Amino acid sequence: MKKNILLIMTGGTISMRKMGNLGVVPSSELAEFLKQFPQLEGVANVEVMDYLNIPSPYMSPEMMFSLAKLIDTKILAYDGVVVTHGTDTLEESAFLADLVLTTRKPVVFTAAMRSGGDLGLDGPRNIIGSVRVASHPESFDKGVLVVMNDEIHTARDVVKSDTGKVDAFTSPGLGPLGIVDPDIVVYHRNSLYRENVWTEALDTRVDLIKAVSGIDGKYIDCSIDHDARAIVIEAFGRGNLPKDLIPHIKKALSRDIVIVIASRTHTGRVLPEYGYEGGGKNLSDMGAILAGDLKGIKVRLKLMALFGKYNDPVLVKRFFSQSQNQV
Ligand code: ASP
């Protein structure tokens, strides 16, 4: 029996078209087009919801949270949900949804690297692939999935790793969960990481700072002055920082601001390995949390959800550490 899938449109290149001198801009064509898209007919009963039509750099955490809540409510009446989204912030929206959704039904995010009118459009193919994945029995209870370029990724691990290619979405060091072949959907593996923060609120006072050589403590001070509840620092390698930042980090910790160390390196975990001033062990001894292999932009969203739920740095630290793959 054909499954009932809700397709929620939010915008992005998949909903855009090149308009002469204006460049690539949002267009209202996709919603109309999808209503009569013949290839969708045989796959599932698809209803289209024209929710938003914005470039995804306009997406804020609050909007991502509202989208997740919408999915959680709407999915009660469907077998699965597909969300079309801009590629620029897709990994953030999909990850936040993965954290806060209570449903175990399939939820699939997809997008396009090419806008309407381009040669070799990837959008329609990605939509069909996503509807097929959302309709597939093995997609149940896998967390939020991202389908792009005939590949299935988890929201937790996927990153946009290229600015222009159709195979821009990858899960570095891990590879996709499966593929969407013309005949069947094939799952090769499961992800062992499942994290949920079932919250009714988000606290967005979480900043992300990327370490660069010679970085100045003024960015940490700025976060302190602007009432950050947590600061994520994308440190070097295993989680190391220059020692000049230590007084600033200590100042933040003394004010109960949660400091979380992620890595600016593409793959691998941060570890309490180096004991020199500013090294990962030194930071950990000082009270900073090490974020395992979770990337900075996702650590930031997770802390927003945790502060929204617990509103208490001690509980946030406890729950954050518990769910990380850290030592
Ligand atoms: N700038 C676009 C967006 O994220 C890029 C895309 O969708 O591919 O909305």
What is the distance in A from the centroid of ligand 1 to the CA of 323? Answer: 31
The total number of residues shown for the chain amounts to: 327
What residues act catalytically?
A: 13
Q: Can you list the alpha helix ranges (DSSP code H) found in 79-210?
A: 90-100, 123-135
Whether 77 and 22 map to the same domain: the answer is yes
Q: How far is the CA of 85 from the centre of ligand 1 (A)?
A: 8
Amino acid 102: pLDDT? 97
Kindly state whether residues 168 and 58 are assigned to the same domain.
Answer: yes
Single-letter residue type at 199: T
C-alpha pair distances (Å), 178 with each of 89, 93, 215, 233: 22, 21, 40, 32
Q: Give distance in angstroms: CA of 251 to centre of ligand 1.
A: 38
**Which residue, 187, 221, 244, sits at the end of a domain?**
187
Query: Based on the domain organization, do 40 and 96 belong to the same domain?
Result: yes
With respect to residue 201, please indicate whether it lies within any of the assigned structural domains.
no
What pLDDT, on a 0 to 100 scale, did the predictor assign at position 321?
Answer: 84
Overall domain count for the chain: 2
Q: Are residues 149 and 215 in the same domain?
A: no
Same-domain check for residues 168 and 223: no
* Residues 316 and 219 sit within 8 Å (Cβ to Cβ): no
Pocket test for ligand 1, best of 9, 14, 15, 16 (most atoms within 8 A of CB): 16
Structure confidence at residue 325 (pLDDT):
57
Of 187, 220, 244, the position where a domain reaches its end is 187
Question: Looking at the structure, do residues 24 and 99 belong to the same domain, yes or no?
Answer: yes
- Give domain status of residue 199, yes or no: no
**Does residue 193 form part of some domain?**
no
Confirm whether 9 is domain-assigned: yes
Residue 200 located in a structural domain: no
pLDDT at 327: 40
- Can you tell me which atom of ligand 1 is nearest the CA of 16? 7
Residue 158 and residue 14 share a domain: yes
Give one DSSP letter per residue of 224-273, joined into a string: HHTT-SEEEEEEBTTTB--GGGHHHHHHHHHTT-EEEEEESSSSS---S-
Q: Is 277 found in the same domain as 243? A: yes
Q: Which atom of ligand 1 is least distant from the CA of 12?
A: 9
Would the pTM count as exceeding 0.85? yes
Q: Pick the last residue of a domain from 141, 159, 187.
A: 187
Atom of ligand 1 lying closest to residue 11 CA: 9
Are residues 20 and 140 both part of a single domain?
A: yes
Residues contacting ligand 1 via CB (< 6 Å): 12-13, 55-56, 86-88, 111, 113
Measured from the CA of 90, which atom of ligand 1 is nearest? 4
Which residue among 27, 64, 87, 166 has the greatest number of ligand 1 atoms within 8 angstroms of its CB, and so is best to mutate? Answer: 87
Q: Residue 155 falls within a domain, yes or no? A: yes
Q: What is the pLDDT along the chain (327 residues), one digit of tens a residue?
A: 899 999 999 999 988 888 888 888 887 777 777 767 788 888 999 999 999 999 999 999 999 999 999 999 999 999 999 999 999 999 999 999 999 999 999 999 999 999 888 899 999 999 999 999 999 999 999 999 999 999 999 999 999 999 999 999 999 999 999 999 999 999 999 998 888 999 999 999 999 999 999 999 999 999 999 999 999 999 999 999 999 999 999 999 999 999 999 999 999 999 999 999 999 999 999 999 999 999 999 999 999 999 999 999 999 999 998 776 544
Same domain, 173 and 121: yes
37 Cα: distance to centroid of ligand 1 (angstroms):
22
* 127 and 217 both lie in a single domain: no
CA of 153 from ligand 1 middle (Å) equals: 18
Range of the domain at 174: 4-187
Q: Which H or E run contains 32?
A: helix 29-35
- Both 53 and 86 in one domain: the answer is yes
CATH of the domain at 265: 3.40.50.40
Which of 88, 93, 163, 169 to mutate to test ligand 1, by most ligand atoms within 8 A of the CB atom? 88
CB atoms within 10 A of CB 31: 17
Beta bridge partners of 59: none
Within a domain: 195: no
Give domain status of residue 50, yes or no. Answer: yes
Please report, for the domain that includes residue 32, its CATH number.
3.40.50.1170
